Structures are given as structure tokens and as C-alpha cells.
Structure 1
Amino acid sequence: MASHDGEQRALPAQGWTARVEQWWQRAWGSAGHERHTLLLIGKSTLAATGSWVISYNLLNAQSPAFAPFSAIVIMQVTVYQSLLQSLRYVGAVVTGVAVQAALGFLVGPELLTFALVALVALIIGRWPALGSQGSQVATAAFFAFSTYISATTGIDKITQLGQIILLVLIGCVVGVIVNVALVPPMRFRSAEYGIRTLAHALYDLVSDMYPALREGELDEERSSQWRRRAARTGGLITQARSGLRTAQESVYYNPRARFRRHQRRATFEGYGAVLEALERTLYQVASLTRSLDQWKEEERHNDRPFLGSYADFLEAIAAITQVLGTLDEDTLREQARQLCQLSDEAQQRCHQVTEQAEEDGLPVADPARPYGVLVVESTRLMEEFQHTCDVLQRHVDDGDE
């Protein structure tokens, strides 16, 4: 019995060990999230250590921890963000120390002074220009107050407050230097990842829809599920936008962007246009699912030819999204050509939807019936995918110039 319990306890440990081993394999095997995390930890450690050596060993500062703390705070995923956060962080710290110095020398080291310092620092910390570093105004002011009341003379007070600012500057400078000099992060792939995520979500949804439409299996439960899935894509859109923004920022002030290979990949206008097109496409698919969900059951069985034609169109759309789900800068030329061919096929299927609706005499002008919305959405979807194809083709052509 004890042996059996021991085996049960060993299983979770083995599973944990396997996950750790897989994480390290991904970190060493590909330039993904794991490797970026490992590099960020390593560079943060180096920056913190260097800042500590300067502040403690060289300057013999009374509060040397300010320097390594500052180095870690401004170590961001891109060089641009490191510089931006450094400026904001230094501004927040200087403001907090200045508030403490002004009120401290005017009022004195009293409890009332601390309350006033906290009030003013918290108000200033809400200034939008400081961004996420706004909270550091109050943090710096509190540390400055502690340093202020422990000093014995006026000169000592000024010296200690000035030293806080100096240590923060040292930490920020060391952090930026390490981030720029040691494998400065290039996140151009983040734009591709965002597009792939949206394309996969769209492909999965459309791939579930067209077989059911073709077989006439359009029940209320299934159409409601499609509608809910389409409504949950808002978070994916936000993530994709963030990925594109990170990719664009990664080339700012980055020495690696000087190389021609990265200059070619740093042109994100094409990906931005594709992302916008996919966003609009997801909204249109959501409208399409709402129309299907509101379709009366008796009409679903009487419109098999139209549903079959629409299924053919959605199948062609699924083929396009499948290619977008594997978008890769290294093979973009072949993918752009393939997308244009698939768009031509989808365009023919789109025309067949309209022709089928006219042939069956469906009331497309009746706003209370779903036919008109479905025909319109098929046209809009086709326009967006054709636009996507054209944008990628131009992106490839511009890269060859």
C-alpha cells in the first residue's frame, strides 16, 4: 500500500520534470516565447549585478539597491520601450524626491509632512505622461522621506536625496546599455503570430460551418454555438494588435535593424493592413452567424441549394484562412501567390451564391429574412480577402525593390 502511494506521489513530480524539460527544449530549439523569457531574465540579472557593483563597490552608496532595482524596472521587451520607460521612471523618481525635498524643508520631518508628501505624490502619479511608472512617484517620495528623517544635517539630507536620483540614473543607464548591446530584442515575428492566431480562429469556425450547411444540418444549437464563438474573438483581436505594435516598436533605436535582412522585415504596413482586414472579416462572420442563428427552422430545409452554394463559398474562404494561419516572412512570396489563386476561386464561388439566390427566387430584399444579409456578407468577405491578397502581393513586390 505504501509503495502504491509512493508511485502516486512520484507521478506529479515526473510530470513536472517533463514540463520543465520541454520548456528548456523549446527555449534552445526555437526563437519563441521561452527563449525571449530566458534572454530577458539573463539580461536583467546582468544589468542588476552591474548596477550593484557600481553603486555598492565603487560609490559605497548608503542605499545601493536603488540602482539594480531601477535596472530591472526598465528592462523591457524592446529597446524602444526600455528608453521610454527609463525616461518615465527617472521623471517619476525625480518628481517624488523633489516633492519630498520641498515639503520636508518647508514643514519639517513631521507626520503631517508625510501625509502631504503622500497626497501630492499620489496626485502627480496619475499624470498620463508618466504611464505605468506613475506609481513610482509615491514610491520614490516614501523612500526619500525615510532617507530625509535619518539624515542629521541639512547638507547630509540634500546629499542623500541627490544620491537616490544618481543611483536611479545609474540603474537606468546600465539597463539600457545591456538591453542594446546584448542581443537587442527583435520581435518582428510578433506581427505574424497575431495574424496567425486570428486566421486560425477564423479557419476553425468556418471549417465547422460549411460542412453543416452542405449537409443541411443547421440546427438551432449549432448556429448558437457558432454565434458565441464568433463573439469571443475580441480578445484575440486585442492580442494581435499588441503583437503588431510590439513588432513595430522592436526596430526603433535597435542596432540590429541596421542589417538589410531586418530592414526588409521591418516593413509592417502590409501586415497591419492584413490584420485590419481580418478584424473586419471576423466582424462580418459574426454578423453571418447571427443571421444563421435567426433563420427559421422551416426555411432551413427548403433552401438546400442556396445553403450548398454558400457552403462552397465558405469552404473556399477556409482555404484562404488556412494559408493565412501559416503566414511566414521567409515564404511570403509563395504564400501571396497561393492566396491570389485561392481568392480567384473564392470570387467565383461568391458569384455562384448570388446567382443561386436569384435562380431560386429568394426574397433577398426582405429585411426580415436572412438571404439578403448572407448575400451581402459573402460579397463583403470576398472584398476583404481580395484586399488582403493585394496587400500581401504589394508587400512582396516592395520588398524586391
Structure 2
Amino acid sequence: MAGEVSGRRTPPALPGRMARVRRWWGRALGSEGHERSTVLLIAKGTLAATIAWVISFHLLHAQSPAFAPFSAVLIMQVTVYQSLLQSSRYVGAVVAGVAVQAALGFLVGPDVLTFALVAVVALTIGRWPALGSQGSQVATAAFFAFSTYVSATSTLDKSTQLGQIVLLVLIGCGIGILVNVTVLPPLRYRSAEHGIRTLAHALCDLVSDIYPALRERGLDEERTGRWRARAEQTGELVTQARTGLRMARESLHYNPRRLFRRGRAATHFEGYTAVMEALERTLRQVAALTRSLDKWSADEDRYRYGDFLAGYADFLESLSRITRVFADLDEDRLGDQTSQLHQLADQAQNCRRRLAEQAERDHLPLTDPGRPYGVLVIEAARLMEEFQYTCDVLQHHVER
């Protein structure tokens, strides 16, 4: 009975896993994304490693042929630019490590003291900032070179084997770069779009929570406190968005595919950069808005100036429509989306003007620091300015 109960409560794991595998491969084959990038990187790494092995083992008959495929895979970065950057650092690190071993080995001899000296010097050189993440390869190369040096039987053989290590690394890096450049070099346009979408979603969700409460005059300390906390916790999203944009821009450098993609000019990234920076500033403006609302506890004002709050709710609702378009930003539909954004921006401008007129009719205490009206009016103007600027700059880069 216990086994039956256990059997009923624990469904077979294999069908579920197979379904997840099928979905994963469906995403990899059906659309651009992380899954397809993973499959492509594995395939290119396999191709580069195989070619490097054939050359080093079958053609050169090297004693340490694994250096070539290892190097080919090591510098198979996501972007062509990173492949070139990391390969130059890696080759520099290997040359430095082999040079340290050659100098100390021939001067002192193959003993324990020499190994200790090699380790000290190699680890010290590896701290050089110019080598970046490849700094550890100085010591790795030096240790492999020491092993090769010790096993060699003559001075000529020692020199030949040390030089062969550098040659194999150069062959591996060259093959890795060649494969990465010629076999579907990655273009990360979608990374930039994803970063903007993430920020726009966060902004849209927050604004969409605020304007109904303003319209219903449902401002309480708990609710405004949550808004303020959410607005102040967007720093990580901003960092992720910047990383995505950096990868997208980086993928253009030295990438031959950019020459064959119609309608995807590099200038679009300038527009994406402006959009992202404007969204960051807008998030800060909304954060200031939530702080003002969080400090406001004059309950009677909500009813006395209810028309103003309703007008402010209409204004924020108009902004939320703009953020929804940004949250669905797609380069293939950028022309239509920019036209839609301008229409929505005009509607938001009208809402802001009506809000300013309502503030004049109600004779709001704009100069009273204990009440939020002055800050709310100023923030409305700043928010509208940022959104209008964002729509304009995106339109400008689409038309270029």
C-alpha cells in the first residue's frame, strides 16, 4: 500500500524530463535566444577543437597536441570582439609563461628551486591588469612548459618543445577566431531589446499600480511604502539592461554579418542607448514621486483636491501606455512602434496640460513643503519631458 501511495504521489520523472528537453530544443530551433546561442556555441566549439586537433596531432605530430584544441575552445567567446580580445590576452599570457620558464630553466636548471622561482614570477605577472581574466594562464603555461622542459633530453629538444607550445596556442586561437567569424558570428540585437523591455516592464507595472490608487484616493502608508521600495530596488534591473546593451553593441565589432542584415543599422544602438538612459532617468523620477506620496499623510487633502489626483491618475495612465510599447519593443516593428509612441506621447502631453490647468483652478498649495503638490507637478513635467525625448530620439534613429 505504501508503495502504491508513493507511486501515486511520485509521477514518472522520465516523461517530464523528455517534455522539457523537447521544449528546450523547440526554442533552440524555433527562435533566437539563449537556447539557440548555446547550441551554436557548442557546435562551433566542437568544429574548432576538431580542426585544431587534426592539425596539431596528424599534421604537426606535436608531443602535446591538446594545446591547440584547448586554446580554440577557450577563446570561443560569445562575440567576435571578445574572441579577438581574449585570444590576444591568452596568447600574451602563454608567451609570458613559457618565456619565464625558458629564462629560468636555462639559467638555473630543472630543479625544485627553479620551479618555485617560475611559480613566483608567473603568478606575479598573472596579476597584471592588462591580461584580464587570462592572467591565470601565465602560471598554467609556465607549469606545462616546466613539465615539457624537464622531460626533454637535449637543449635543442627543450627549445623546440617550448616553441611548439606557443605555436600550438597560436594555431588554436587562430582556428577558434576563424570559426567564430565565418560560422554564423553572433549578433546580439535582441540583448539590447531585452534590457529595454525589462526596464519598461518594471516601470509599467509600478505606474499601473499607482494611478488606480490615485483615482480612488486610496493612498495609505502601507501601499505607498511598497511603491517606494519597488522603485528603489530597480538598480539590479538597470545593471542587467546595461550589460545586455553592451553585449549587443560589442557583437557588431569585426562582425561580417552586420554587412548583410538589411534594416539593422548600427545606428539603432544609439537609439537604444538613448531609450535605456531615458528609462533609467524616468525610474529615478518615479522613485522621487513615490517618496513624495509616501510622506504624504494629510487625508483631508485627498478629498479637497480629488480632481487634481484624478487628473494625475489620467496622466500616469497615459504614461503607462507608452511603457507598454517599450516593453514590447521589436526592431522588426520599430517603424510602426515609433509612430504609435508619438501618438501616445501627444495624448500624455494633453493630460499633463489638463493637469497643470487643474492645479491652477484648485489653487494648490504648491509652495507648501508639507504637501506633495508642488513636487507632483514638477515630476509630471519631468516625466513628460523624458518620455517625449525618448520617443523623439528613437524616431530620429529609425529614420536614419
TM tier relative to shorter chain: over 0.9
Q: Which residue of 2 aligns with 1:5?
A: 6
Partner of 1:309: 311
Contact 2:252/2:266 (CA < 8 Å) preserved in 1?
no
Aligned partners of 1:146 and 1:364: how far apart in 2? 78
How far does residue 299 in structure 1 lie from its aligned partner after superposition? 5.3
Partner of 2:114: 113
- Range with greater deviation from structure 2 (135-144 or 333-342): 135-144
The aligned residue for residue 211 of structure 2 is 210
Aligned to 1:78: 79
Cα displacement (A) at 1:74 = 0.7
Q: Displacement, 1:394?
A: 0.8
- Alpha-carbon distance in structure 2 between the residues aligned to 1:295 and 1:271: 36
Q: Which moved more, 1:177-186 or 1:254-263?
A: 254-263
8 Å CA contact 2:78, 2:186 repeated in 1: yes
Q: Per the alignment, do residues 299 and 47 of structure 1 end up closer, same or farther by CA in structure 2, a change over 3 Å counting? A: farther
After superposition, what is the alpha-carbon deviation per residue over 1:196-253, rounded to whole angstroms, capped at 9, x for unaligned?
A: 1111111111111111111111111111111121122111111211222222222222
Instruction: Count how many residue pairs are aligned between Structure 1 and Structure 2.
Output: 398
Report the equivalent of 2:125. 124
Secondary structure of the 2:365 match is: coil
Mapped partners of 2:102, 2:258: distance in 1:
43
Question: Where in structure 2 are the equivalents of 1:151-170 lying within 5 Å?
Answer: 151-170=152-171
CA distance in 1, matches of 2:75, 2:348: 49
Structure 2 distance, partners of 1:219, 1:386, is 31
Q: Which moved more, 1:257-266 or 1:43-52?
A: 257-266
Whole-Å separation in 1 of the counterparts to 2:52 and 2:200 = 44
8 Å contact 2:197–2:329 — kept in the other structure? yes
Provide closer, same or farther for how the CA distance between residues 354 and 58 of structure 1 changes in structure 2, counting only shifts above 3 A.
same
The residue identity in structure 1 corresponding to 2:381 is T
Could you say what secondary structure the match of 1:264 adopts? Answer: coil
> What is the CA deviation profile of residues 253-291 of structure 1, one whole-angstrom value per residue up to 9, with x for unaligned ones?
212111251653664111111111111111111111111
Q: Once superposed, what is the RMSD of the aligned Cα atoms? A: 1.8
Counterpart CA distance in 2 for 1:221 and 1:39 is 49
Distance (Å, rounded) in 2 between the aligned partners of 1:183 and 1:391: 31
Equivalences for 1:193-232 in 2 at 5 Å?
193-232=194-233
Shift of 1:104: 2.1
Residue 350 of structure 2: aligned partner = 348
- Asked if residue 377 in structure 1 is aligned to residue 379 in structure 2, the reply is yes
Q: What is the alpha-carbon distance in structure 2 between the residues aligned to residue 116 and residue 362 of structure 1?
A: 77
Identity value in percent: 68
Contact 1:248/1:266, CA 8 A, preserved across alignment: no
Q: Is the 8 A contact 2:101 2:118 kept in 1?
A: yes
Deviates more, 1:371-380 or 1:30-39: 371-380
Alpha carbons 1:71, 1:174 under 8 Å: kept: yes
- Aligned equivalents of 1:163 and 1:278: distance in 2? 53
8 Å CA contact retained: 2:268, 2:398 = no
Separation (CA, whole Å) in 1 of partners of 2:291 and 2:216: 20
Seen in structure 2, the aligned counterparts of structure 1 residues 233 and 12 have a Cα distance that, compared at 3 Å, is farther
**Inter-CA distance 228–159: structure 2 relative to 1 (3 Å threshold):** same
Whichever residue aligns with residue 339 of structure 1, its letter is L
Q: Equivalent residue for 1:386?
A: 388
Matches for 1:30-179 after TM superposition, within 5 Å: 30-179=31-180
Q: List alignment gaps of at least 5 residues for structure 1.
A: none
For 1:266 and 1:33, the matched residues in 2 are separated by: 24
Q: For each residue in 1:161-198, what CA deviation from the matched residue of structure 2 results, as whole angstroms up to 9, or x when unmatched? A: 11111111111111111111111112122211111111
Cα distance between partner residues in 1 of 2:204 and 2:315: 13
Q: Label 1:57 to 1:300 Cα distance change in 2 as closer, same or farther (>3 A).
A: farther
1:332 corresponding residue in structure 2? 334
Return the TM-score normalized by structure 1: 0.94
1:20 maps to a residue whose letter is V
8 A contact 1:218–1:300 mirrored in 2: no
- Give the CA deviation at 1:148: 2.0
